[in-house]
A and B are shown apart, each in its own frame.
Chain A
C-alpha cells in the first residue's frame, strides 16, 4: 500500500519527463529537414503563402518553413541569432537595420511592392467617404504603429496628403489591425491592399494613395536560395500580383 503513491509519482514523472526530453531533443536539434528553407517573412506576405507553397511543390522545391511577424520583429530576431535561410522585409529601413548589424547576405533584391488602402468595416458604419474622414475623432480609426512598415508608410502618406489621423489604436502588426476591422470594432483603417483583398473588406477610393508605396526586399543568408529565385521568376511575380502585390 505504501508503495502505491511512490509508483504513482514515478509514473506521473515519467509521463511528463519523457515527452519533455523528447521535445527538447527535437527542438534543440533545430532544422530537422535541411532541404526546407527557413524563411523570416513580414506578416503581410502571409496572404500569399498557400499559393507560393503549392507552386514551389510543383517545381519539386520542398515547402519552406515560414516564420511570419512584423518586419522589425523578424530583423530583431535575426540580429539576436535566430537561424534562417532567407530574410524578407516589407521595407528598406528594416533591411538596412539588418545590414547595419551585419546579418544580411551577399546580395539584396527588391522582389515586390505594396501600398495602403482606406478600408472600412462591413456596411461602412462610419460613413467614411474620403481620407480626410480619418481626422474625425468620433470615428473609430486604426493604423499600424509607426515602428512597423505599414505604420511608417501610413504616417508618410497621411502627412504628405495633409490628414491628421485621429487614431484610436496603433496596432503592432497589420494582421491584428485588419482583424479588428473585420470584426467590426473599427470604422476604418489603413491596411495593405493585399490584406484588404484577402479579408474581402470594402475599400474607399483615395486618389493618389497608390503613389505611396513600400518595397519588399529579400536577402539570402545561406547562398543561393530557390525560394527567392522563384519569387523573382515570372510565375512567382504572377502569384504575388494575384494576391495584390506589385504595381
Chain B
C-alpha cells in the first residue's frame, strides 16, 4: 500500500467535506436535541421496554437464521459455477437496494394468508405469518441476509479452495471439510457478517410495518416504536433514536477495531 497522501487537491476536499457534513449534521442534530437528563426514564418506560424485548428477539433470531441459511448460501455462491450464477447473486443482493416497504409488500403478497405461498401455509398448517413475531423475524431476515451473504462470500472466494481440496485429499467428507476447514478459515468474516446482519435486522422498519403490522409486545420493534412516538412523544422518539444510534455505532467500531483491520 502507498502511504497516505498529505496534499489532497482542494477540488476533491470540498465535495468530500460536503459529503461528510450530509452524514454528520443530522447525527449531531439528533444528539443535540436528545433528552439526556431523562434518557433513563424514557428508555425504561414500559412501552419502550416492550419494544426492546421484541427487537432483541427479532434481531437475534434473524441473525441466527442468517447464519444457518446464509452460510450455506454464501458457500454455494462462492463455489458452485452455475449458468445463472450472476442472476442468482443479484437476486440475493436485491434486498440491499430494494426499498424495504417494497420488500414488505412482496412478502405480504407471497406469504400473507391470501398470498402465493401463504394461502397453502394457512390451509395446510394453519400458519399465518403477518401480524406475528415470526413475520417480523422473516421481514428482518429478508433485509439482513444479503449483508451476511456478501461478507462471507467475499471471504470464501478470497480464501480459495486450497484448504478444502487438501482436506478432501486427506479423506475428509465435503461436509466435514466445510465445518472443520472452511468455516474456521472464514470465521472473522462470519462474525463481521453476523454483526452487520444483526444491526440491519435491529434497524428494520419498512418491511416489518408493511408485512408484520404494528402491535406492542408482538411486532412493535424499536424502530416502529420510534415512528409511533415521533407523533405523540418526540422526547421518547429521540431517546430511542440515541439508543439505536449507539448500538449501530458500536457495531461499526467493533468491526473496524477487531475484525476488518488486521
CA distance in complex: A105, B249 (Å): 43
Which residue on chain B has the smallest CB distance to residue A171? B214
Cα separation A184 to B131 with both chains bound (whole Å): 13
Stretch at the interface among A84-92, A139-147, A238-246: A139-147
Bound complex: CA A140 to CA B135 (Å): 14
Inside 8 A of A70's CB, which chain B residues have their CB?
231
Q: A169-B214, A170-B215, A171-B213 are in contact. Are A185 and B231 (CB under 8 A)?
A: no
Residues of chain A contacted by B215 (CB below 8 angstroms): 167-170
The reply to whether the CB of B150 lies closer than 8 angstroms to some CB of chain A is no
**B103: interface (CB < 8 Å):** no
Q: In chain B, residues 177-218, which have Cβ atoms closer than 8 Å to a Cβ of chain A?
A: 209-210, 213-216, 218
Q: What is the minimal beta-carbon distance from A20 to any residue of chain B, in angstroms?
A: 11
Q: Are A185 and B230 in contact (CB under 8 A)?
A: no
- For residue A82, CB closer than 8 A to chain B, the reply is no
Q: Which of B213-229 contact A (CB under 8 A)?
A: 213-216, 218-219, 227-228
- Given A169-B213, A169-B219, do A140 and B131 touch, yes or no (CB 8 Å)? yes
B54 to chain A, nearest CB (A): 13
Q: How far is the CB of B39 from chain A (nearest CB, A)?
A: 22
Residues of B with C-beta under 8 A to A170:
213-216
CB distance B114 to A184 under 8 Å? yes
The closest CB in chain A to the CB of B230 belongs to A76
Interface string of A153-186 (1 = CB under 8 A from B): 0000000000000011111100010001001111
**CB pair A72 B213 closer than 8 Å:** no
* Complex Cα spacing A184 to B214, Å: 17
Verify B130–A147 contact, CB threshold 8 A: no
Bound together, the chains give a CA A184 to CA B209 distance in angstroms of: 16
Chain B interface SS verdict (over half): loop
Q: Is the beta-carbon distance between A145 and B108 smaller than 8 angstroms?
A: no
Of A73, A140, A186, the contact of B231 (CB 8 Å cutoff) = A73
Question: Which residues of A165-221 are within 8 A (CB) of B?
Answer: 167-172, 176, 180, 183-186
The number of residues on chain A lying at the interface, defined by a beta carbon within 8 Å of a beta carbon of chain B, is 21
- Bound: A167/B219 CA distance, A: 12
Instruction: Tell me the complex Cα distance, A18–B2, Å.
Output: 33
- CA–CA, A200 and B11, complex, Å: 59
CB-based contact A147/B228 at 8 Å: yes
Kindly list chain A residues whose C-beta atoms are within 8 Å of the C-beta of B228: 145, 147, 172
Q: Mark B97-111, 1 if CB is under 8 A from A, else 0.
A: 000000000001100
Q: Does A37 contact B (CB under 8 A)?
A: no
Please judge, given known A-B contacts A76-B231, A169-B131, A169-B219, whether A185 and B214 are in contact too, CB under 8 Å: no
B residues within 8 A CB of A183? 108-109, 112, 114
Q: Which residues of the partner chain A approach B216 to less than 8 Å between Cβ atoms?
A: 170
Contacting pair A185 B112 (CB below 8 A):
yes
> What 0/1 readout, one digit per residue, does chain B (108-140) give for beta carbons within 8 Å of chain A?
110011100000000000001011000000000
Closest Cβ of chain B to A140, distance in Å, is 6
Contact B232 A185 (CB under 8 A): no
The answer to whether A148 has its CB under 8 Å from any CB of chain B is yes
Question: Shortest CB–CB separation between residue B127 and chain A, in angstroms?
Answer: 13
Cα A186 to Cα B211 with chains together (Å): 12
B209, A142: Cβ atoms closer than 8 Å: no
Interchain nearest-CB distance for B114 vs A (Å): 4
**With A and B bound together, what is the CA distance between A166 and B158 in angstroms?**
53
Q: Which has the most chain A C-beta neighbours within 10 Å: B128, B219, B232?
A: B232
Q: Are A147 and B231 in contact (CB under 8 A)?
A: yes
- Of A72, A172, A185, the residue contacting B114 (CB under 8 A) is A185
Known: A70-B231, A167-B215. A185 touches B113 (CB 8 A): yes
A142 CB to nearest chain B CB (Å) = 7
Residues of A within 8 A of B232 (CB): 72, 147
What is the bound-complex CA distance between A103 and B230, given in angstroms?
A: 19
B231 contacts A184, CB within 8 Å? no
A76-B231, A140-B128, A140-B131 as given contacts; A172 in contact with B209, CB under 8 Å: yes
> Contacts A142-B213, A185-B114 known; A72 to B231 CB distance under 8 Å?
yes
Q: Which of B108, B128, B219, B227 has a CB less than 8 Å from the CB of A172? A: B227
Is B113's CB under 8 angstroms from A172's CB? no
Closest to A121 in B: B114
Residue contact B112 to A184, C-beta cutoff 8 Å: yes
Output the least CB separation between A82 and chain B (Å). 14
Find residues 108-163 in chain A having any chain B CB closer than 8 Å to their own CB. 140, 142, 145, 147-148
A186 and B114 alpha carbons, distance in the complex (Å): 10
**Mind listing 6 A-B residue pairs with CB under 8 Å?**
A168-B215, A170-B215, A171-B213, A172-B209, A184-B114, A185-B108
